[in-house]
Structure 1
Amino acid sequence: MSGPHPTPETPRATAPPQDTVTDVVRWAAFSCVLVPVVLLWYGTSLAGAAGTAFGLAAVTAVCRLLLRQSERVAARPPSEDHTSRRGRHHRSGTGAHRGRRHTGGSTPVG
């Protein structure tokens, strides 16, 4: 006797990629509320708890800005001009190996 035949599953829609910055900011905002409440529960002054909340909110805002900026920079396609240009420390040609010890004959100056 054969059992029920499994039907092929419909392909699942792929979940959208998680926005990790949003997740981090959510947890930080949660801690901005939770930490002062816990401080008040354990007897810290209202001013101390408010100062802590303000400090945590300021740090959260700065971290959010920095994370968003790093996402924008990472998402930007590499510029052709950036790869062809060399900085001051990447010289080529004459004098590129200054400071290296030279063995062999030396010519007196003067």
Structure 2
Amino acid sequence: MFLYYKAPEPRPGDDRTTDLIRWAAFTCVLVPVVLLWYGASLAGAAGTALGLAAVTAVCRVLLRRSERCAVRLLADEPAPEAHHRGHRQRTGTGSRRGGRHSGGNSPVG
């Protein structure tokens, strides 16, 4: 007898960034509740909630912006070449790899 697990179909908008933001929003609520539970003042817990909410909002904006930039860069990237040279093959006559090389017999200085 075999049991098969079928992963749920991804919904539009579901991605790692969305999950991360959801967890951050959850902690924005959880942390002040825990602070109140352990005897912190209401003003301190509210200030913590506002600070966490502000940090979460800024992180969300930055994450979405980086996603848009990454998509744009991938769209602008040319297709890879059909023939790829190995890393040990030279690309042209007299090509040199790495290190410092002076040009011909000129003094190094």
Tell me which stretches of 4 or more aligned residues in structure 1 moved more than 3 Å: none
The verdict on how the C-alpha distance between 1:38 and 1:68 changes in structure 2, with shifts beyond 3 A counting, is same
Alignment of 1:1-110 (within 5 A): 15-16=9-10, 18-76=14-72, 77-78=75-76, 103=107
Alpha-carbon distance, 1:21 to partner? 1.0
Q: Which residue identity does 1:60 align to in structure 2?
A: T
Number of equivalent positions: 75
DSSP 3-state at the match of 1:16: coil
User: Can you list the C-alpha shifts for 1:67-109, whole angstroms capped at 9, x where unaligned?
Assistant: 00011011111268xxxxxxxxxxxxxxxxxxx8x617xxxxx
Alpha-carbon distance, 1:15 to partner? 2.6
Unaligned runs of 5+ in 1: 1-11, 81-99, 105-110
TM-score, scaled relative to structure 1: 0.58
Unaligned runs of 5+ in 2: 1-5, 79-101
Alpha-carbon distance, 1:14 to partner? 7.6
Distance across 1 between alignment mates of 2:15 and 2:32? 27
Q: Which residue identity does 1:78 align to in structure 2?
A: D
DSSP 3-state at the match of 1:22: helix
User: Can you list the C-alpha shifts for 1:2-36, whole angstroms capped at 9, x where unaligned?
Assistant: xxxxxxxxxx7983274111100100000000000
Q: Which residue identity does 2:76 align to in structure 1?
A: P
Tell me the percent identity. 67
The verdict on how the C-alpha distance between 1:34 and 1:13 changes in structure 2, with shifts beyond 3 A counting, is closer
